[in-house]
Amino acid sequence: MQLTITRPDDWHLHLRDDAALSTTVPDTARTFYRAIVMPNLKPPVQTVDAAIAYRSRILAALPETMTFDPLMTLYLTSDVTPEIIREAADTPCIHGVKLYPQGATTNSEAGVASLDGMMETLETMAEVGLPLLVHGEVTDRDIDIFDREAIFLERTLGPLMQNIPALRVVLEHITTKDSVEFVKAHPEMAATITAHHLLYERNDMLAGGIRPHLYCLPILKRSLHRDALIAAATSGSPQFFLGTDSAPHAVGDKESDCGCAGCYTAPHALALYAEVFEQAGHLDRLEGFASHFGPAFYRLPVNTTEVTLIREPTEVPMARPFGETEVRLLKGGEIVNWRLA
């Protein structure tokens, strides 16, 4: 059995930098033509010049036989002024601004502690049509980690969308039924969904031993939330589309006393999504989710080339090179039912 679809895009991706790019860029470009590239480097990508320079490093790591268009983003901090937003909106390779609540995830120390001082910048984004890409969690130490996404919707995102209704928002890597319902109630916004949040729930990570390569942020939730994500992703609604949040870390940084959050899925992400859509009985809706709905939200053309998946049991490689070490793949050493032709 084969499935041919329009070549997809990845609307939420971590490529890292420097030596890592020699692995992450070709691993992504084998499947995806475009990707929204996260700006959480050290130092963070806060200026147009920094975004352009990062894009040049990414393209320098692209093999000559491949095609790939990295779509750049800025990291929202108090230094990102309305003037920078206007410059970014006039720069063809920049397609969004990323909101990291301070301390929410990897390299988020530079994120904003509060949106109170950011309203002029956010209003300018609404004016010029530059999307806000949101990591939707509160970071208060006294709030249970499994509740942080739902509370963010109530405390932060709901009021923001009331105050600036014209702001274009992508709620990224959603993990809860609450987020699915929030997005549905706001037809002007969109959400990305990862393969790992569709495949796993928190028992998979914690029951019978801790599995560090399933640890991600936002963290895996109960099965009822995973089921809500599957229903949203396979619904055919254009508000929900593919964003892998593929986030590589060296294996030693994952398997440590304080392991890093992130799952590496770039090389085989489309096969993982195909498994989910097939199991849900909606394989015919994978193309919309993977290839059509994201470009529509970002006001970009649909790709003109195609990719083919073959239904054939295939073992996922355990690891890939990552600088001077390795990065483990999600489901490494396991069998998946699909592979890229």
Active site residues: 245
| Residue 308 structure tokens | 């083919």
Measured distance CA(112)–CA(109) in Å, rounded: 8
Q: Which of 6, 21, 44 is nearest to 323 (CA)?
A: 21
Q: Which of 248, 283, 282 is nearest to 265 (CA)?
A: 248
Give the whole-angstrom CA distance, residue 64 versus residue 5: 24
Closest CA to 333 of 314, 305, 306: 314
Quickly count: other Cβ atoms within 10 Å of residue 44's Cβ.
23
Which tokens sit at 266?
Answer: 């770039």
Angle in degrees, CA 278, 284, 285, rounded to 5: 95
Amino acid at 335: I
Torsion of CA 111, 117, 122, 123, to 10 degrees: 180
CA-based radius of gyration for the chain: 19
The H or E element that residue 6 is part of is strand 2-6
User: How far apart (Å, rounded) are the C-alpha atoms in residues 182 and 186?
Assistant: 7
Backbone angles phi, psi at 309, to 5 degrees: -105, 140
